[in-house]
Chains A and B, each alone.
Chain A
Amino acid sequence: MDPQDPDRGLSAASDAIVAGRAADGDLDAFEVLVRRHAPMMRAYARRILAATDEVDDVVQESWMVAWKQLPELNDPSKVRGWLMRVLSRKALDRVRVRRYHSDITQIEVASPRPAPAQLVEQQSALSGLTAALAELDDNQRQVWILREWAGYSYDEIAADLNLSRSTVRGMLARARKKIVDRMEGWR
């Protein structure tokens, strides 16, 4: 069945309905979910990974995990945050592998290559934030993104990044300070 089929109304239905249905094994609903959230996941992966060639792989892997684990999601209306978390874990695995293969203690990650539409981003504040984010070190940027974008608690960040809660707390504060200082002219 075509998910866009007017009679089904599936693509207009809420996440609670679509994700619940996909959890039950409905491929059409899964497709609607992918169409709805894949751009958000790609944007998010791009910020965490700061390397374009791995972004699509990570997004794809995340959807495979999502298909398998959807039945365990208790509240399907929370699927968006849940997808972010699935994606973060996949992306962080990549970052870890990268780090393992490098002799350098502190990897200097190139600034996230902006998407074409972002190149013409008019708002200087957003470009300022993008630049400031690129200057954070890997861990700080991840902590900040997990907190501000994915809405993780300190404990969740600590668990996923293998850090202590107090380290997370410190990193987040330093990340915020660095960004604000870097953007001092912005307000």
Chain B
Amino acid sequence: MTPEDELDGHTIEELSDYLDHGRSPRNRSIEASPGCQNALQAMERLRDLAEQLAEADTEAEKERADDRWLQRLLAGIVVEARPGRRIPLEEATPISDLGITEGAVRSLIRDAETDAPGIVVGRTRLHGDLGTATAEVSVNVDVGIVYGHNIETATERLRTAIADRLAAHTSLQIRVIDITVRDLHEPDEVDGTPEELG
């Protein structure tokens, strides 16, 4: 790189810092110095190359990461089920206490996507006092939608499917079901044509 004595009084450290701040605020002395410009360009090229190396490394690993490796990796990961809060199904008595876990309720909500083609459910949130059987709760659901599906139809179907499932398996009073469309994505390669184009 340009030797420090050709940097018109600036240091490599200063330039490296300047680059990381997106060359902003503009430093006129640095921008006017040919030596500094050379050094900055070299560092910028290096940054591009770093990105390329990261991509090449990852691609190489993808080739090596065969299914056996992935299976071994997965098999060794210790996980704990996430039950979440316990939601009573009716008022507890000295001899009886019936409930359903928040985790089970979330999986019910995720399962509602089977009735709403084109929707993939992401994160689910239950807001309200889950400690009482007939609590008023609002439900927040993040979803992704496959291109080609009508957003309004799909989300309306999902809303109905969620309401039905919650009514069958909990005693909660559902105040509102908010659905946030996080993104649109391509279908799976194995996915057929969406049912309802347009």
Contact = CB atoms under 8 A, between A and B. Distances in A.
Contacts of A19: 122
Given A14-B185, A20-B142, A43-B61, 12 more contacts: A12-B191, A17-B183, A40-B61, A43-B60, A64-B78, A71-B82, A118-B57, A126-B53, A129-B46, A148-B51, A173-B13, A180-B46
Nearest to A28: B110
26 contacts: A7-B114, A8-B120, A12-B189, A13-B120, A13-B185, A16-B144, A17-B120, A20-B122, A26-B110, A34-B73, A43-B60, A60-B77, A64-B77, A67-B79, A71-B82, A76-B122, A117-B64, A118-B57, A121-B56, A125-B52, A126-B52, A129-B50, A129-B53, A149-B54, A172-B16, A173-B11
A82 interface: no
A177 B77 CA distance: 40
Interface of A: 4, 6-14, 16-21, 23-27, 30-31, 34-35, 38-40, 42-44, 46-47, 56, 59-60, 63-64, 67-68, 71, 76-77, 115-118, 121, 123, 125-126, 129-130, 144, 147-149, 154, 169-170, 172-174, 176-177, 179-181, 183-184, 187
A10 B16 contact: no
B161 to A, nearest CB: 14
Contact of A24 (B47, B58, B106): B106
A44 B58 CA distance: 8
A169 B17 contact: yes
B190 interface: yes
B122 A9 contact: no
Contacts of B63: 117
B61 to A, nearest CB: 4
Contacts of A25: 81-82, 84, 103, 106-107
